[in-house]
Amino acid sequence: MSRVVRIHQLGGPDVLQLEDFEVPPPAADEVRIAVKAIGLNRAEAMFRAGHYDEQPVFPARIGYEAAGLIEAVGENVRGLSVGDAVSVIPPNSISRWGTYGELANVPAEFVVKHPSSLDWNEAASLWMAAAVVYGALVDYAALKRGEHVLITAASSSIGVTAIQVANLLGAIPIATTRTAAKKEALLRAGAAHVIVTDDEDMVTRVKEITEGTGARVVFDAVAGPDVAKYTELAATHGVLIIYGLLSLDPNVVPPMNLLVKRLTIRGFVYRDWVNDPVRREAFVKFVDDAVASGTLRPIVGKVFGLEEIVEATRYLESNAQIGKIVVTVDS
């Protein structure tokens, strides 16, 4: 028996139950990982609350990311061995291959030997953020040197990763945050400009920063009513990529901005491209090279123990952190 986290109903963080559970041997094309660290994601909170594009079948495991040691290897697995230090690129199902717990079976094709320069906490913090940022900014938007990219809710793990990747590409990252408390931290993380939305008008500031041209790419985790502002501050032929729903409030997209600026608005889910083995290979190489060069480094905001999974999730949902919330596992 090992300790795993499961949910038996939809709800808030309190529905997360740490239970003894018999984790089966890995199936064909899977490996079993003895988990050392787990990275928490907003997607998991949405899944737990019933607001995600995958619905749980109770009792459901939960979790996308983990880092640890391979404990067992299923049939047909090549290139991975017992004892390998690995981390998980988030696979297709948040519950079928849930990672919250001491042991997790995951599909081998989504398991990578993480860079040796990263510790367990950093390795568990890397792949979801990198997958969303690479897929949206590199693969889809083709962000280029000298272009401005507006990054909303920039203190999240995805936000700070987007800042680092924008700098790696030679683009100019403009970060937003609601209060001034996180401004200096975002500047230290590499943001060229930080807009404090409680104190500054976002549209005016972006136009000032870009000398009137607007941001060619808007990378948004919020949605909600601010979508109208994004269409106003975007450049002609700009791209608005919405990857999160921190606000579930309705929005109105001004059709004149779409027409005059010829804007593209796209909802982005990392699964749109990460299932393609060729694109996934290119992504892993990009990340490995960036980590090796020191231009990409996960920022760990706060660390909890597995028995503190409820408190860790509450902290994630408080939006107080800069970077990733990590849960460590002593097994």
Instruction: Give the model's confidence band at 142: pLDDT under 50 very low, under 70 low, under 90 confident, else very high.
Output: very high
Instruction: Read off the pLDDT of each residue in 154-170 and give the average, rounded to a whole number.
Output: 97
Domains of the chain: 2-118+298-328 (3.90.180.10), 129-271 (3.40.50.720)
- Predicted TM-score of the model (pTM): 0.95
Q: Could you tell me the CA-to-CA distances from 252 to 11, 149, 178 in Å, in that order? A: 29, 22, 21
Give the closest residue to 306 by CA, choosing from 104, 152, 117: 104
**CB 252: neighbour CB atoms within 10 A?**
9
Average pLDDT, the chain: 95
Work out the percent of the chain whose per-residue pLDDT is above 70: 100
- d(Cα 152, Cα 158) in Å, to the nearest integer? 10
Is the confidence at residue 330, as pLDDT, over 90? no
300 or 252, higher pLDDT: 300
Per-residue confidence (pLDDT) for residue 125, from 0 to 100:
97
The stretch 114-142 carries a mean pLDDT of 95
Is pLDDT at 250 greater than 90 in this prediction? no
Average pLDDT over residues 266-291: 92
Residue 95, pLDDT score: 86
Q: Is the pLDDT of residue 316 over 80?
A: yes
Q: What is the mean pLDDT of residues 204-226?
A: 96
Between 246 and 100, name the one with better pLDDT.
Answer: 100
Neighbour count for residue 295 (Cβ, 10 Å): 14
What pLDDT is attached to residue 331? Answer: 60
* 245, 223 Cβ separation under 8 angstroms: yes
Give the residue-averaged pLDDT of 216-240.
96
Q: Summarize the confidence of residues 209-222 as an average pLDDT.
A: 97
Q: What confidence tens digit (pLDDT) does each residue in 18-55 have? A: 999 999 999 999 999 999 999 999 999 999 999 998 99
pLDDT tens digit sequence for 88-110:
999 989 989 999 999 999 999 99
pLDDT exceeds cutoff 70 at 70 = yes
What is the pLDDT, as a whole number, of residue 273?
82
Residue 268 phi, psi (nearest 5): -120, 130
Q: Using pLDDT thresholds of 50, 70 and 90, give the confidence band for residue 248.
A: confident
pLDDT at 319 over 90: no
Tell whether the model's pLDDT for residue 252 goes beyond 90: no
